[in-house]
Chain A
Amino acid sequence: MNLTAKDKNTVRTFWAKISTNAEDIGTDFCLKIKSFFPPFFRMLVVYPQTKTYFSHWKDPSPSSAPVKKHGATVMAGVADAVAKIDDLRAGLLSLSELHAFTLRVDPANFKVLSHNILVVLAISFPNDFTPEVHVAMDKFLSAVDLCNYS
């Protein structure tokens, strides 16, 4: 699935609009939406099978340090992918190797996380998350997912 120039523009524009601070995108994004249960924690609740990858954490609640930290790491990764949208395969190479060869994450789980990111975007930015933005973000996240497992 290829991202068109229009898709990339839509993603960049939407991301710029929703990020308050270009340098601190990952953390800021999480701070802004923390009252809406960030995507990563939401995924652990709605899709309990994803918790199997984090059995080494004693406390999987939203207020626990590892969950908050990892949620911020994940969203910072997404922000980084936005910046590297013109060459995701090269830009996400090290993350790709980590998820595919070290963590060995079942590919279905990336789709699950992407879905939860979209749900949180809809909750947080109901007026900006139009169908047109939704399709561009969906295609973008699918491309990121593909990089992470292949």
Chain B
Amino acid sequence: MVAWSDQERSIITSIFSNLDYNDVGPKALIRCLIVYPWTQRYFASFGNLYNADAIKTNPNIQAHGTKILHGLDRAVKNMDDIKTTYAELSVLHSEKLHVDPDNFKLLADCLTIVIAAKMGSGFTPEIQETFQKFLAVVVSALGKQYH
């Protein structure tokens, strides 16, 4: 059970309430596929991912990036029990999608970079610490049902 201070809750809800999920989600996923190219292995059915431009303009990647952010939204709304909230998603990623759980951290790092670029000087070390704590809990929950 993860403890959240009032300030941490406020920081997380504030960050997400100021995000355009249709923009940030795709940007984070695109960045992940380019910076960590082995992650493309999970998107073989998505069409053309042959180079950075193809990835950036691929409509399936756009849609999936948005979907991921909406998935994160569920964690924001259930911060006191992210583990249970994500149990089903964890089973999905393990048993159906066969995603190496190390990759969750890579996507989390890319999302941090995208949010940092968006928030600029507002992304202070304290805010970064809280945001990364949140993502670490999400990453851990997603890996919990792997056996």
Residues of A within 8 A of B (CB): 35-37, 41-42, 45-46, 115, 118-120, 122-123, 126, 129, 131-132, 134-135, 138
- Complex Cα distance, B31 from A107, in Å, reads 25
Instruction: Provide the bound-state CA to CA distance between A130 and B119, in Å.
Output: 16
CA distance A123 to B112 in the complex (A): 11
Chain B interface main SS type: helix
Q: For chains A and B in complex, what number of residue pairs have CB atoms within 8 angstroms?
A: 55
Contact residue range for chain B?
20 to 34
- A41, closest chain B residue (CB): B125
Say yes or no for B121: interface residue by CB 8 A criterion: yes
**B129→A45 contact, CB < 8 A:** yes
Of A42, A118, A132, which contacts B125 at CB under 8 A?
A42
Chain A residues whose C-beta falls within 8 Å of the C-beta of B125 in the assembled complex? 37, 41-42, 45-46
B123 touches A131 (CB 8 A): no
Q: Quick check: B120 and A42 within 8 Å, CB to CB?
A: no
- How distant is the Cα of A129 from the Cα of B27 in the complex, in angstroms? 12
- B128 near A134 (CB under 8 angstroms)? no
Q: A122 contacts B132, CB within 8 Å?
A: no
- Given the contacts A126-B120, A138-B35, A119 and B129 also touching, CB distance less than 8 Å: no
* B117 contacts A by Cβ under 8 Å: yes
